[in-house]
């Protein structure tokens, strides 16, 4: 009869060593939080905002991976490499050309973990870096090896608006100093959320 209390204790202990989230920015209706895992060189970053659009409209922008080169900051190339389980699992390639640094590319495996029915529940896409099916690395382009995150959409105001959370933990790699990479992540995460908001609210 001690299983449940013991399990609860294990859950509590599992998160006991995690660093607390700290707010690092709040601007343009977007709140940005960050925390650095123990022993890590870069921070996890999480941005959130209330978007004046239904969750389905926000989801449509997020899931339009092929057009990221048109909608997302600094994205030069975006390709869906594979689709499995009727679209629930997607392997995606992206090439990013940000200012003042070498180009970066990455391959991620995206999983649709939504629990959504009749406008209720949540929509969620999570991802991790992938190697299976990845194209060969290109000369002059740094392949990002650490890349995990999620989009979480929760309806608000009877579904007219959406509370959007974008979480990312990545290290751009290459010769970029860790503190520069950390600073870049903290600015790029809200920029991506801002882009999603822009296209989701376009009338």
Strands 120-129 and 22-27: unpaired
Inter-residue contact 41 to 201 (CB < 8 Å): no
Residue 29 lies in a domain: yes
Model pLDDT for residues 2-48, shown as the tens digit of each residue: 444 444 444 444 455 678 999 999 999 999 999 999 888 889 999 99
* H/E element, 113: none
pLDDT computed for residue 78 by the predictor = 98
Percentage, residues of the chain above pLDDT 70: 91
Question: Residue 55: inside a domain, yes or no?
Answer: yes
Q: Which domain holds residue 182?
A: 20-200
Domain annotation covers residue 115: yes
In a domain? residue 8: no
Highest mean pLDDT among 69-73, 97-101, 115-119: 69-73
Q: What predicted TM-score, i.e. pTM, was given to this entire model?
A: 0.88
pLDDT recorded at residue 179: 76
DSSP H helical ranges for 24-91? 55-62, 68-71
Residue 60 lies inside a defined structural domain of this protein: yes
What does the pLDDT look like over 122-162, one tens digit per residue?
Answer: 999 999 999 988 999 999 999 999 999 999 999 999 999 99
Q: Is residue 146 part of a domain?
A: yes
Q: Is the pLDDT of residue 175 over 70?
A: no
Residue at 93 is within a domain: yes
Most confident of 14-23, 98-107, 116-125: 116-125
Domains: count for the chain = 1
| pLDDT score for 17 | 65
pLDDT of residue 2: 42
Q: Residue 11 — φ and ψ, nearest 5°? A: -60, -45
The CATH number of the domain holding residue 44 is: 3.30.530.20
The answer as to whether 110 is a domain residue is: yes
């Amino acid at each position: 009869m001690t299983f449940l209390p013991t399990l609860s204790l294990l859950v509590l202990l599992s998160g006991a060593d995690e660093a607390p989230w700290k707010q690092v920015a709040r601007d343009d209706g977007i709140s940005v939080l960050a925390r650095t895992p123990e022993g890590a060189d870069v921070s996890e970053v999480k941005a959130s905002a209330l978007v004046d659009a239904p969750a389905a409209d926000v989801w449509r922008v997020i899931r339009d991976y092929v057009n990221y080169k048109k909608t997302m900051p600094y994205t030069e190339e975006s390709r869906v490499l594979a689709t499995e389980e009727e679209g629930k699992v997607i392997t995606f390639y992206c090439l990013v050309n940000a200012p003042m640094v070498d180009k970066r590319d990455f391959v991620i495996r995206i999983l649709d973990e939504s629990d959504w029915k009749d406008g209720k529940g949540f929509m969620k896409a999570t991802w991790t870096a992938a190697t299976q099916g990845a194209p060969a690395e290109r000369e002059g382009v740094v392949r990002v090896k650490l890349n995990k995150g999620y989009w979480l959409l929760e309806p608000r105001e009877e579904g007219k608006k959406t509370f959007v959370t974008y979480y990312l933990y990545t290290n751009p790699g290459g010769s970029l100093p860790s503190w520069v990479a950390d600073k870049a992540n903290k600015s790029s995460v809200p920029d991506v959320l801002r882009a999603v908001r822009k296209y989701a609210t376009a009338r």
